[in-house]
């Protein structure tokens, strides 16, 4: 018999307090309640992790959502033009079919030694495949939080800590971090011929906010630096990432 949303939330909250204790606050718990009710995520089942004061879903958690929603299948293909095994660089396209008549929700994933943790060097192909599947699943089922497997080597994969709470974030006042940061972002977009709308979608997810105007100046500065660095190192892989934010193409036949 399925567990009720309230019971699942209370179970999740109890385990979260055991794992993360006083690091939890009302905002984090409110998010946990929403994820418990909306997606039936279970901390005990390994569906969610709390990192740097934000929830992240796991690959196994996404697969369980797909199974509960009777996913019809997932197709994964390498994007061969962007794969270079000699450099351990891989790119994949995943398509999630939510119903028999579904045209599919598409997600792209890439990985190379520069954007994965040193702990998984040698497994870049598997990481790229997992990232593609995760992005397609999140798009298919409307899951707004990032997955753990999508985090790159530049992300700080450590549990939330009290030190992160010492200084409150300073708002960007809706100007995307100030004129200098905005000008730098526009310069990167023009220089590398990127789609501004897709960049904005990526920035929103990168900064873990619902709207980019809610991001702090530091978050936007980090994103712009990340975007510029990735564009310089591997524009093709960046385009794959940006394309994953294109509007889903699904309608019934």
pLDDT in tens, 205-233: 888 888 888 888 878 888 888 888 888 87
pLDDT value at residue 160: 43
pLDDT exceeds cutoff 50 at 131:
yes
Give per-residue pLDDT as tens, 98-115: 999 999 999 999 999 988
Question: For residue 1, what pLDDT is reported?
Answer: 53
Looking at residue 249, its pLDDT comes to 44
User: Which band of pLDDT confidence, cut at 50, 70 and 90, is reported for residue 153?
Assistant: low
**What is the separation of C-alpha 103 from the centre of its chain, rounded to a whole number of angstroms?**
23
Pairwise CA distance, residues 103 & 47, whole Å: 27
Other CB atoms within 10 Å distance of the CB of residue 192: 16
């Amino acid at each position: 018999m399925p567990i009720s949303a309230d019971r699942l939330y209370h179970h999740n909250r109890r385990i979260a307090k055991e794992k993360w204790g006083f690091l939890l606050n009302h905002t984090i718990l409110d998010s946990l309640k929403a994820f418990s009710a909306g997606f039936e995520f279970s901390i005990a089942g390994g569906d969610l992790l709390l990192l740097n004061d934000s929830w992240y879903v796991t690959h196994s958690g996404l697969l369980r959502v797909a199974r509960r929603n009777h996913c019809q299948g997932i197709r994964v293909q390498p994007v061969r033009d962007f794969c270079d095994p000699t450099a351990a660089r891989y790119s994949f396209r995943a398509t999630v079919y939510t119903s028999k008549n579904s045209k599919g929700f598409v997600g792209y994933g890439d990985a190379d030694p520069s954007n994965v943790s040193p702990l998984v060097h040698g497994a870049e192909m598997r990481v790229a495949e997992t990232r593609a599947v995760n992005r397609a699943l999140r798009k298919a089922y409307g899951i707004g939080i990032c997955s753990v497997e999508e985090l790159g080597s530049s992300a700080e994969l450590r549990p939330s800590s009290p030190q992160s709470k010492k200084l409150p974030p300073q708002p960007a006042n809706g100007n995307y971090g100030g004129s200098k940061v905005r000008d730098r972002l526009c310069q990167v977009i023009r220089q590398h011929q990127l789609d501004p709308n897709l960049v904005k979608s990526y920035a929103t997810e990168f900064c873990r906010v619902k709207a980019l105007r809610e991001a702090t100046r530091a978050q936007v500065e980090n994103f712009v630096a990340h975007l510029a660095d990735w564009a310089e190192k591997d524009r093709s892989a960046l385009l794959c990432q940006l394309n994953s934010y294109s509007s889903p193409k699904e309608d019934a036949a």
